Amino acid sequence: MPISGNKLDRESYESAAATAAKKAHEFNAKERAVYIRSMVSTTQEYLRQRRPVNEIKELLPEFVADYKHLFDMITDPAGYDASNLQVMLAMLDHMDTGNLTQHDASVIVGKRLYKKFGSDSAPQK
């Protein structure tokens, strides 16, 4: 989703949502959620052991390659908002049970991020 300065581009957001709605479910939600939870837990354990981030990268190369932004987020020395991660994992859980489509989950997460990071002065449609 393109960002103009600190504002999210609403038209690009809507275009991306429309494109996502047309796509088929491209992955197994349950397997992805289990994998992410496991890798986050493992990464956090390594951090508790005070292992350097570069060492953790060597120990979990696939996770780092496939989920670079997530890895960077959870290893950020300043910490991160774990509630955002929990919401995304909950969406995967709902997709697995058939309660949500991939598109619906993307829209929910996108709206949450827009509320958190979007501008109140963004044009409304």
Mean pLDDT of 40-53: 97
CB 17, CB 101: distance < 8 Å:
no
Tell me the C-alpha distance between 57 and 106, whole Å: 28
CB 104, CB 14: distance < 8 Å:
no
* pLDDT score of 62: 96
pLDDT over threshold 80, residue 65: yes
CB 110, CB 1: distance < 8 Å:
yes
Mean pLDDT of 71-89: 89
pLDDT over threshold 60, residue 33: yes
* Mean pLDDT across the chain: 79
pLDDT over threshold 70, residue 8: no
* pLDDT score of 17: 58
Evaluate the CA torsion angle 33, 36, 39, 42 in order and state its sign.
negative
